[in-house]
Amino acid sequence: MLHFKLGTRSSPLALWQANFVADKLQKAGAKVELIQYETMGDKILHQGLAEIGSKGLFTEELEQDLRDRKTDLAVHSAKDVQSVLDIDLELLAFSERELANDVVISFDKNVRLSLLGENEIIGTSSTRRKSFLKHYFPHLVTAEVRGNLQTRIKKLENGQYKAILLAYAGVHRAGFDDLIVEKLPLQQFIPAVGQGCIAIETHKALTQEKKDFLKKHLNHLSTSICLETERSFLATLEGGCSIPIFGYAQINQNNEITFEGGIISLDGKKMIKIEEKSTENPMVFGKKLAEKLLNAGGDEILEAIKNKK
């Protein structure tokens, strides 16, 4: 029997994801041991993610133990994984994607972003969501909200925000569907790269037997093709959590990769989007998409954002 040591963050949502993965491996006949961590992103809650500006905010501690062979695999939200991995690490598998939409949660069932009054406060820790809010709903005020999902919901209940923007996947997996008052359209609030998907990271020195087992039982092929496209797009743009880049790939009925993505300025005033479809290698396609975006004026937005850091 294969024995896997699985590294995960200790937040309730991260543990849901870890147990989801562990259950699949156990049903396939493996033994799984969970090892929990607090990452830098979990500890530094008094600053926004963009202000901290560090790569691997939610992955660094887990990756170090992969290197030290203390764990065999690390389970992440795919959107939290830096766009370029260190050369000794690899993403081995991606779970089937949950709905990738952003959602509005509130204790007021009548809340709709388009109907809210002037200067109502909307909480989000995402640079992308802040920029989209400023673009589509400039009458609203965005405010930083950090902490795990339960902590954020407590702040919402205490009246610090009228509503909070989050990923549907996290809200749904944590069992808070009853707080969702609005599911935002994918064509408007295009998700972050990897949103709604679980990523499995390993050290390249992991035995081939274990790699094959993980890939066989955890990787969802069509999702992995989409994620390879999106991550290639992001890596070419050298995007991180402080850059409001968005990208969403799907497989259509003709087995083509369809992609919609782009970049938006921090103040929400400038946005460049591209839509393409292709049957070529997803890594190549993602790189071409990024180059097209840069040539369409995305380079100016990207440079302006980097100069503000």
pLDDT in tens, 98-114: 999 999 999 999 999 99
pLDDT-derived band at 45 (thresholds 50, 70, 90) equals: very low
Cα–Cα–Cα angle for 72, 240, 263, nearest 5°? 135
Mean pLDDT, the chain, whole residue set:
92
As a whole-number percent, the residues of the chain with pLDDT over 70 amount to: 92
Rounded CA gap, 273 and 265, in Å? 12
Q: Single out the residue of 31, 11, 16, 36 nearest to residue 213, CA to CA.
A: 31
Is-contact 129 189, C-beta < 8 A?
Answer: yes
pLDDT in tens, 120-152: 999 999 999 999 999 999 999 999 997 889 999
Q: How do beta strands 163-167 and 102-105 pair? A: antiparallel
Which of the pair, 61 or 263, is modelled with greater confidence?
263
- In this structure, of 13-17, 80-84, 157-161, the range with the lowest mean pLDDT score is 80-84
Query: Could you tell me the end-to-end alpha-carbon distance of the chain, in angstroms, rounded to an integer?
Result: 50
Q: What is the DSSP letter of 95?
A: P
Rounded CA gap, 172 and 247, in Å? 21
What average pLDDT does the segment 224-232 reach?
97
What average pLDDT does the segment 164-176 reach?
95
Q: Residue 44's pLDDT is what?
A: 47
Q: Report all structural domains of the chain as residue ranges with CATH numbers, in order of start.
A: 1-95+197-219 (3.40.190.10), 102-183 (3.40.190.10), 221-309 (3.30.160.40)
Rounded CA gap, 80 and 261, in Å? 18
Structure tokens at 172: 């749904």
Q: How do beta strands 3-9 and 31-37 pair? A: parallel
Instruction: Read off the pTM.
Output: 0.90
Residues noted as catalytic? 80
**Residue 47: pLDDT above 70?**
no
